[in-house]
A and B are shown apart, each in its own frame.
Chain A
Amino acid sequence: MRQLFTILTALNVAVVGTLWAAEPPVLTVMTYDSFVTQWGPGPQVEAAFETTCKCDLQFVGAGDGAALLARIRLEGKRSDADIVLGLDTSLTAQARATGLFADHGLPEKDYDLPVPWSDPIFIPYDWGYFAFVYDNTKLTAPPASFDDLINAPKDLKIVIQDPRSSTPGLGLLLWVKSVYGDDAPGIWEALSPRILTVTKGWSEAYGMFLAGEADMVLSYTTSPSYHLIAENDATKAAASFSDGHYMQIEVAAKLASSDQPELADAFLDFMTSERFQSIIPTTNWMYPVVMTDNIPDGFDTFGTPDKTLLFSDVQAASVRDEALSEWLAALSR
Chain B
Amino acid sequence: MAGRAQPVNFTTLAGLVAAALIVALTVGTVATVALRAEYSARLNPADWAAIRFTVRQALVSAMFSVLFAIPVARALARRQFWGRSMMITLLGAPFILPVIVAIFGLLAVFGRTGLFSQILASFGVGPLNIYGFQGIVLAHVFFNLPLATRLILRGWQTIPAEHFRLAAQLSLESNHVFRHLERPMLRGTLPGAFAVIFLLSAASFAVALALGGGPKATTVELAIYQAFRFDFDLGKAAFLALVQLALSATAALVAWKFTARRAFDAGFGRRIRRWDGLNAVSIAQDIAVLSCAALFLFLPLSMVVLRGVAHLNEIPAPVFPAIVRSLIVAVVSAGLAVFLALILARAALDFRKNGKSFAGWIESVGFLTLATSPMVIGAGLFILLFRFFSPSSMALPVTITVNAALSLPFALYSILPALRDAEAHYGRLADSLGMRGVTRFRLAIWPRIRPSVGFAAGLSAALSMGDLGVIALFADADNATLPLVMYRLMAGYQMDAASAVALLLLALSLALFWLFDRGGRLNAAT
Which segment of A14-22, A35-43, A102-110, A256-264 sits at the interface?
A35-43
CB of A203 within 8 Å of the partner chain: yes
Q: Smallest CB–CB gap between A56 and chain B, Å?
A: 13
Which segment of B89-97, B272-280, B345-353, B472-480 sits at the interface?
B472-480
CB of A175 within 8 Å of the partner chain: no
Contact partner of A196 (CB less than 8 A), chosen from B104, B131, B487, B490, is: B131
B491 engages A202 (CB within 8 Å):
yes
B229 engages A197 (CB within 8 Å):
no
**Chain B residues within an 8 Å CB radius of A78:** 386-387
Q: Which residue of A lies closest to B387 (CB)?
A: A78
Q: Which residue of A lies closest to B112 (CB)?
A: A213
**Chain A residues within an 8 Å CB radius of B290:** none
Question: In the bound complex, what is the Cα–Cα distance between A305 and B525 (angstroms)?
Answer: 73
Which segment of A3-11, A61-69, A140-148 sits at the interface?
A61-69
Q: Which residue of A lies closest to B108 (CB)?
A: A211
A70 engages B215 (CB within 8 Å):
no
CB of B100 within 8 Å of the partner chain: yes
Question: In the bound complex, what is the Cα–Cα distance between A324 and B218 (angstroms)?
Answer: 14
CB of A60 within 8 Å of the partner chain: yes
Known contacts being A69-B232, A74-B383, A196-B131, is A207 close to B390, with CB within 8 Å? no
Number of interface residues of A (CB under 8 A): 60
Q: Which of A64-115 contact B (CB under 8 A)?
A: 64, 66-67, 69-71, 73-75, 78, 80, 94
Q: Which residue of B lies closest to A205 (CB)?
A: B210
Which segment of A118-126, A157-165, A178-186, A273-281 sits at the interface?
A157-165
Number of interface residues of B (CB under 8 A): 53
B390 engages A200 (CB within 8 Å):
no
- List the interface of chain A (C-beta within 8 A of B): 33-34, 36-40, 42, 59-64, 66-67, 69-71, 73-75, 78, 80, 94, 157, 162-165, 192, 195-204, 206-208, 210-214, 223, 226, 230, 285, 324-325, 327-328, 331-333
Can you list, as one digit per residue, whether each of B98-136 has a CB less than 8 Å from chain A (1) or not (0)? Answer: 001001100110011100000000000000000100000
Q: Which residue of B lies closest to A330 (CB)?
A: B215
B379 engages A200 (CB within 8 Å):
no
- List the interface of chain B (C-beta within 8 A of A): 36, 46, 49, 100, 103-104, 107-108, 111-113, 131, 205-206, 209-216, 218, 222, 225-226, 228-230, 232, 316, 318, 379, 382-383, 386-387, 390, 392, 472-473, 475-477, 487-495
**Chain A residues within an 8 Å CB radius of B212:** 197
**Chain A residues within an 8 Å CB radius of B229:** 66-67, 70, 164-165
B491 engages A203 (CB within 8 Å):
yes
Question: In the bound complex, what is the Cα–Cα distance between A163 and B393 (angstroms)?
Answer: 32
A37 engages B492 (CB within 8 Å):
yes
Contact partner of B209 (CB less than 8 A), chosen from A34, A62, A71, A198, is: A198
Q: Which residue of B lies closest to A63 (CB)?
A: B472
A332 engages B392 (CB within 8 Å):
no
Question: In the bound complex, what is the Cα–Cα distance between A73 and B38 (angstroms)?
Answer: 12
Known contacts being A74-B383, A211-B107, is A157 close to B209, with CB within 8 Å? no
Q: 28 pairs across A/B with beta carbons < 8 Å?
A: A34-B491, A36-B476, A60-B477, A61-B477, A62-B473, A69-B232, A70-B229, A70-B232, A74-B379, A74-B383, A78-B387, A94-B232, A162-B222, A164-B230, A197-B131, A197-B212, A198-B210, A199-B209, A203-B495, A207-B100, A208-B210, A211-B107, A212-B112, A212-B113, A214-B112, A328-B218, A332-B214, A332-B215
Question: In the bound complex, what is the Cα–Cα distance between A204 and B205 (angstroms)?
Answer: 13
Known contacts being A74-B379, A207-B495, A213-B107, is A198 close to B475, with CB within 8 Å? no
A34 engages B495 (CB within 8 Å):
no
Contact partner of A211 (CB less than 8 A), chosen from B104, B225, B386, is: B104
Contact partner of A162 (CB less than 8 A), chosen from B104, B215, B490, is: B215
A206 engages B495 (CB within 8 Å):
yes
Known contacts being A80-B390, A197-B211, is A165 close to B488, with CB within 8 Å? no
- Number of interchain pairs (Cβ within 8 Å): 148
Known contacts being A69-B232, A70-B232, A210-B495, is A198 close to B213, with CB within 8 Å? yes
Contact partner of B214 (CB less than 8 A), chosen from A75, A197, A213, is: A197
Q: Smallest CB–CB gap between A277 and chain B, Å?
A: 20
B206 engages A332 (CB within 8 Å):
no
Question: In the bound complex, what is the Cα–Cα distance between A277 and B232 (angstroms)?
Answer: 32
Question: In the bound complex, what is the Cα–Cα distance between A70 and B113 (angstroms)?
Answer: 38
Q: Which residue of B lies closest to A64 (CB)?
A: B491
Q: Which residue of B lies closest to A231 (CB)?
A: B493
A40 engages B495 (CB within 8 Å):
no
Q: Smallest CB–CB gap between B147 and chain A, Å?
A: 23
A40 engages B225 (CB within 8 Å):
no
Question: In the bound complex, what is the Cα–Cα distance between A241 and B206 (angstroms)?
Answer: 30
Contact partner of A164 (CB less than 8 A), chosen from B36, B226, B473, B477, is: B226
Q: Smallest CB–CB gap between B131 and chain A, Å?
A: 5
B103 engages A204 (CB within 8 Å):
yes
Q: Which residue of A lies closest to B104 (CB)?
A: A207
**Chain B residues within an 8 Å CB radius of A69:** 232
Q: Smallest CB–CB gap between B56 and chain A, Å?
A: 14
Q: Smallest CB–CB gap between A2 and chain B, Å?
A: 38
**Chain A residues within an 8 Å CB radius of B473:** 62-63, 71
Known contacts being A39-B494, A70-B228, A331-B215, is A33 close to B488, with CB within 8 Å? yes
Known contacts being A70-B229, A226-B493, is A34 close to B488, with CB within 8 Å? yes
Q: Smallest CB–CB gap between A209 and chain B, Å?
A: 10
Question: In the bound complex, what is the Cα–Cα distance between A162 and B108 (angstroms)?
Answer: 22
Q: Smallest CB–CB gap between A49 and chain B, Å?
A: 16
Question: In the bound complex, what is the Cα–Cα distance between A38 and B485 (angstroms)?
Answer: 11
**Chain B residues within an 8 Å CB radius of A331:** 214-216
**Chain A residues within an 8 Å CB radius of B387:** 78
Question: In the bound complex, what is the Cα–Cα distance between A325 and B522 (angstroms)?
Answer: 57
Question: In the bound complex, what is the Cα–Cα distance between A226 and B492 (angstroms)?
Answer: 10
**Chain A residues within an 8 Å CB radius of B36:** 74
A61 engages B492 (CB within 8 Å):
no
Q: Smallest CB–CB gap between B401 and chain A, Å?
A: 19
Known contacts being A70-B229, A73-B232, A213-B107, is A37 close to B210, with CB within 8 Å? no
A165 engages B225 (CB within 8 Å):
yes
Q: Smallest CB–CB gap between A155 and chain B, Å?
A: 9
